[in-house]
Amino acid sequence: MNETYDAIVIGAGVIGASVAYHLSKRGLKVLILERRSVGAGATGASSGLVRMHYDVEVDSALAWESFQFFHSWRERIGGECGFHKTGFLQIVAPEKNEHLRANVAMHKRLGIITDVVTAEDVKKIAPMLKTDDFELAAYEPESGYADPVLTTNSFLEQAKARGAVLMQNCEVTGIRVGGGKVQGVESGKGSFDAPIVVNCAGTFAGRVARLAGVEIPLDTWTHDVAFVKRPPQVGRHPTVIDDALAMYFRPEGELTLVALEDGNRMGEPPEAELGQVDREFVMRAIDRICQRVEGMEAGALHSTHVGRDGLTPDQRAVLDQAGPAGFYVACGFSGTGFKLSPAVGVCMSELILDGRAKLVDISSLTLKRFARGEFLRGEHSYGDIWR
């Protein structure tokens, strides 16, 4: 006789961990199946930014609700998430000034603490930043970054405290469906019954969905990250997304994490070895961080790593019920899942147990939009995040 659970969550990255926690909090007996180990996919390589600036309202709303968790993690979840308040700047090229103004106005309507600042203001906020190539930025004084591994482990520990079971090195090989309803899963460690299955399998989510007869247009993007030893004279800078130079960076103790928005590798198989960062990437990343940060030329490369995430055609997530009754999808975050994860867990638990998400309206993140040819774009779009 198979073991029976109220819900099975596939994937123990930060999204799966959050969904499992919030379902457990609602009283469900949850089984979490992870093909490798906790956080082994995109979560383990996440840069961990915690900010709310997006050009799509649903993303900003999810990030804002998630920020409330990161800001008071111990009280809301328990354990640690490693949140550091650094302040956050979104720099844009001059031709996107009006987009920035409109998006900040949208953020303010949501309640986000943010404002439009001039290049002169940026120089006061962060004197080490060179400001001669842009005119405006958005500033979130309360934002920063957190630790994806600590965050994931906190969700999982609190879920297990509520009765959830975690099985690692357990790949899902089949999803049983009968009468149009999910009945359970087959895995490398046996068969398990449940009327609810939530696909949080990251880059493997497309393959998992096909086991239930569901097609998700999911590709992959593989990104390189560098850590640079910051010269003491530079000082501690804010977390920055720099659209003008197509990069983002944040402090990490005495180091600065640097990654680029362009030149990423697309379409690699989910199981492909991540390998080492491209040598050309290192040179481009160092060149750009030196263009933006005064005195960084005296720094030194410390280390590098590579990550991979699921990428949808419009580079926005899928949060939906799809295919047989009881089968749900939370995937395709396209590099932005970490900062949204607390609210995504709440919304998925509400969708599953209440019929719709109440914390944030996630209906625009339906899988059906792709079949309809309706890509999700911001009213004042900055364009694709990754290119």
**Sheet with strand 172-178: strands edge to edge:** 3-4, 190-193, 181-187, 172-178
103, two tokens: 């998006």
Residues 162 and 303 in one domain: no
- Is 380 within a domain? no
**Does an H or E element contain 151, and which?**
helix 148-161
Burial 325-363 (b: 16+ CB within 10 A, else e): ebbbbbbbbbbbbbbbbbbbbbbbbbbbeeeebebbebe
CATH of the domain at 38: 3.50.50.60
* Confidence (pLDDT) at 386: 85
Compute the distance between CA of residue 161 and CA of residue 163 in angstroms, rounded to an integer.
6
What is the pLDDT confidence band of residue 235, given thresholds at 50, 70 and 90? very high
Are 129 and 197 contained in the same domain?
no
Residue 63 lies in a domain: no
Tokens, residue 210: 């096909």
Question: Are residues 161 and 238 located together in one domain of the fold?
Answer: no
Contacts of 372 (CB under 8 A, 6+ apart): none
In sequence order, which residues have a C-beta less than 8 Å from that of residue 386 and are 6 or more positions away? 221, 223, 261, 262, 264, 266, 311, 315, 334, 335
If asked whether residues 184 and 124 sit together in one domain, one would say no
Structural domain ending residue among the three candidates 262, 291, 307: 307
Residue 22 has pLDDT above 80, yes or no: yes
Whether residue 155 sits in one domain with residue 205:
yes
Tally of domains in the chain: 2
Same domain, 192 and 229: no
Look up the CATH number of the domain holding residue 117.
3.30.9.10
Asked if residue 79 is part of any domain, the answer here is no
Are 242 and 340 found together in one domain?
no
pLDDT interval class at 1 (50, 70, 90): low
**What's the pTM value of the predicted model, to 2 decimals?**
0.97
200 within domain boundaries: yes
As a whole number, the mean pLDDT across the chain is 97
pLDDT at position 41: 94
Q: How far apart are CA 236 and CA 254, in angstroms?
A: 8
Note the pLDDT tens digit of each residue in 198-213.
999 999 999 999 999 9
Q: Are residues 187 and 94 in the same domain?
A: no
Q: Identify the burial level of 161 via C-beta atoms within 10 angstroms of its C-beta, where 0-12 means exposed, 13-18 middle and 19 or more buried.
A: exposed
166 and 190 assigned to the same domain: yes
Task: Please give the pLDDT value at position 376.
Answer: 96
- pLDDT higher than threshold 80 for residue 219: yes
Within 13 Å of residue 340, how many CA atoms lie on the same side as its CB? 28
Do both 282 and 327 map to the same domain?
no
Domain contains 336: yes
Return the closest-CA partner of residue 121 out of 89, 84, 85.
Answer: 89
The owner of tokens 């490798």 is 36
Domain carrying residue 30: 3-45+149-218+314-371
Q: Is residue 80 part of a domain?
A: no
- Residue 275 pLDDT more than 80? yes
Residues 225 and 138 in one domain: yes
Domain assignment present for 108: yes
Question: Per-residue pLDDT tens for 281-320?
Answer: 999 999 999 999 999 999 999 999 999 999 999 999 999 9
Same domain assignment for residues 226 and 136: yes
Q: Domain end: 252, 275, 307, which one?
A: 307
Of 264, 281, 307, the position where a domain reaches its end is 307
Q: Indicate whether 74 belongs to any domain.
A: no
Q: Percentage of residues in the chain with pLDDT exceeding 70?
A: 100
